[in-house]
Amino acid sequence: MMKFEVLILGCGAAAPNGRNLPSAQLINLRENYLLVDCGEGTQLQLRRYNVKFQRISHIFISHLHGDHYLGLMGLLSSMHLLGRRTPLVVYSPAGLEEIIRLQMKISESYFEFPLEFVVLPCDEERLIVSESAFEVRSFPLRHRLKCSGFLFTEKPLLPNISKDMIRELKLSIEEILQLKHGNTIVNREGMVIEPQQVLLPAHEIRSYAYCSDTMEWENIVPSIRNVSLLYHESTFLESESKRAVETWHSTASGAARIASKAAVKMLMLGHYSARYGNLNCFLDEAMQIFPNVVLAEEGKTIEL
């Protein structure tokens, strides 16, 4: 199985504590490196976990609260310093390009690599990236500032044909490719072979949804339905549900209710408020509503 995994670089809320760093995750999607949010300290975390950060091709910033993007200028500067030439695309709500370009202007600096900024709509779902191996959609979250969730979906690989079958039917490479692309062929012995006779079932398509900062909001359910893994913030426990609403955040129970409504396979919690000592209470609370839950923790890798 080709890699599709999520490395947690930071999973705390905005106020600093000694336990968690602000939001950032690195997705390895079939050797494409995608960075999601870039809180302060992200480049140090990338170094700590031995990520070759020049391989990052796309950066997705959910919104412009500092705990989700203040590490970006440092990371971009290091990429330049270390000789990057390959292009980089940064997706975010409006305003980020101005912030970065102003810092560059005042420090009279420049980047040697092509840097493109793409503004997210934040009020409707949209396909924002389509590559050969994967696609990315953005969809609106409900937060104090314009805020976007992201859905990462791999594209199907070509189906397989067993080695025994290839030998038995004496298939050439050209014939194998024809069959894999769904075409009927006639082999050297004049035998008509339909693709459905020889193709093994295609693998299951894996997907990952990232919901950074949001109130519990049912409108996101259609965008994240049946995903393999849902990351949904849980800044608070349900005992602080009033505070969650006031600050446009969710509780562990709220995240679990959304996971359940969307029938996702697994839920990951994160963006924990610094007020909580033991994070297992997040796990316990969510699991009363939805069975398959993991806690985000710095350095943890979740394989899909």
- The tally of CA atoms less than 13 A away on the side-chain side of residue 299 is 4
# binding residues, Zn ion (CB under 5 A):
2
CA distances from 85 to 57, 80, 81 (A): 11, 8, 11
Round to whole Å and give the CA distance between 174 and 119.
Answer: 43
Nearer to Zn ion, 175 or 213 (CB): 213
Q: Minimal distance in Å, beta carbon 131 to Zn ion?
A: 28
CB of 63 to Zn ion, least distance (A): 6
Q: How far is the CB of 290 from Zn ion (least distance, A)?
A: 23
Nearer to Zn ion, 213 or 285 (CB): 213
CA distance linking residue 253 with residue 260, whole number of Å = 10
Residue with tokens 């209710």: 257
Nearer to Zn ion, 65 or 206 (CB): 65
Only one of the segments 60-68, 81-89, 167-175, 184-192 lies at the binding site for Zn ion (rule: CB under 5 A); that segment is 60-68
Q: What single DSSP character describes residue 159?
A: P
The answer to whether 67 is a known catalytic residue is yes
Q: How far apart are CA 231 and CA 234, in angstroms?
A: 9
Q: Who's near 62: CB < 8 A, 6+ residues apart?
A: 23, 36, 37, 68, 92, 141, 147, 148, 149, 150, 210, 212, 213
In whole angstroms, how close is the CB of 263 to Zn ion at the nearest point? 27
Q: Which residue out of 37, 67, 213, 284 is catalytically annotated? A: 67
Contact string (CB under 5 A) for Zn ion, positions 117-146, x = contact: ------------------------------
3-state DSSP call for residue 180? helix
Q: Which of 40, 154, 175, 213 binds Zn ion (CB under 5 A)?
A: 213
Question: How far is it, in rounded angstroms, from Cα 193 to Cα 252?
Answer: 53
Q: Which is nearer to Zn ion, 25 or 32 (CB)?
A: 25
Query: Is 65 an interacting residue with respect to Zn ion (CB under 5 A)?
Result: yes
Of 37 and 213, which CB lies nearer to Zn ion in the complex structure?
213
Mark the segment that binds Zn ion (CB under 5 A) among 89-97, 179-187, 206-214, 222-230. 206-214
Q: How far is the CB of 65 from Zn ion (least distance, A)?
A: 3
Q: Does 249 bind Zn ion (CB under 5 A)?
A: no
Tell me 161's DSSP state: B
Task: Give the strand pairing for 56-60 and 88-92.
Answer: parallel
Interface segment toward Zn ion; rule CB under 5 A; list 5-13, 122-130, 208-216, 224-232: 208-216
* 37 binding Zn ion? (CB under 5 A): no
Closer residue to Zn ion (CB): 40 or 213: 213
Give the N- to C-terminal CA distance of the chain in Å, as an integer: 10
Q: Are 65 and 37 in contact (CB under 8 A)?
A: no
Site residues, Zn ion (CB under 5 A) = 65, 213
Residues identified as active-site: 67
